[in-house]
Amino acid sequence: MAWPRPPGASVAPLAGGFGARLQLDGQSYEIRYGPGQDFETPEDFFAPCRAALREPCEEMLRVVEALGVLESLQLDAHGTLRVALPFCGSMQELPILAHFLATRCSGRQGVAKISILASDVQDWAPLGGYWKQKETYVKRWYPHMDLKFCQLDLHALRHPPSSLTFAFHPECTVHRDLWRRILHNVISASAVCIVCTFNDEERKVVLGVCQDLGRQAQCQRNPYYANSKQNGTTPPFLNFLILVR
């Protein structure tokens, strides 16, 4: 199998490039390096998102679209859609989100550019987060999108304003007061925020913050988990979805 390229991206004939193989989800992926190939150099490589994360993520994004989230997004004066990925960790699902935003938002309803700010209190780049490589990937494949990873302590700082936020897996039942503050600093800065939690207890904490902020919240379980699936993770990735408007 080829490395999952953004749809529409054509494969340049392999001229002077070289390849490698990767085993993932029982599949063997061929990775090509060189001009016009999957990655320019081996230093740009990061592994594709494994199915156990990709599938619930794709299902969650289908729900987001079906709920009409993309129909009235706020843009800045230059037609830029500001997307936030707070407490993002390694952001393994980045290629799926980038593809979703590019195919569902780019060029629609005045969206000229998509600017993504991904942040975490911890620098995940040296921890297998491949932050630099993911920035390079977006720059390479999506001309109307930019991605920047940075360290932000969202307990101390309010997130910069964003039109659309994907806030996945707040650890809000562990240090509740700390995470209430973080969620407050994220949700209050976002016109539309999609928070996903592993479990119902976390969902309730998120709803409490929305209530304190006077924001409307709509909850749904990820339909991916309605059927018994062979690929789920423990705890279930993106299990509950809370749409905050």
Ligand X SMILES: C[S@@+](CC[C@H](N)C(=O)[O-])C[C@H]1O[C@@H](n2cnc3c(N)ncnc32)[C@H](O)[C@@H]1O
Applying CB under 6 A, the residues found at the interface with ligand X are 87-89, 120-122, 152-155, 168-169, 171, 182
Q: In this structure, what are the phi and psi dihedrals at residue 201, rounded to the nearest 5 degrees?
A: -60, -45
**d(C-alpha 85, C-alpha 99), whole Å:** 15
With contact defined as beta carbons under 8 Å apart, do 190 and 210 qualify? no
Nearest Cα residue to 134 out of 209, 194, 193, 124: 124
**d(C-alpha 60, C-alpha 225), whole Å:** 10
**d(C-alpha 40, C-alpha 172), whole Å:** 39
Nearer to ligand X, 33 or 46 (CB): 46
In whole angstroms, the minimum distance from the beta carbon of 228 to ligand X comes to 23
What six digits make up the tokens of 175?
Answer: 């240090």
**d(C-alpha 140, C-alpha 187), whole Å:** 30
**d(C-alpha 156, C-alpha 141), whole Å:** 34
Nearer to ligand X, 27 or 122 (CB): 122
In whole angstroms, the minimum distance from the beta carbon of 67 to ligand X comes to 20
In whole angstroms, the minimum distance from the beta carbon of 121 to ligand X comes to 4
Nearer to ligand X, 44 or 171 (CB): 171
Nearer to ligand X, 58 or 171 (CB): 171
Q: Report the residue number whose CB is nearest to ligand X.
A: 89
In whole angstroms, the minimum distance from the beta carbon of 207 to ligand X comes to 18
In whole angstroms, the minimum distance from the beta carbon of 182 to ligand X comes to 5
**d(C-alpha 69, C-alpha 104), whole Å:** 11
Nearer to ligand X, 11 or 127 (CB): 127
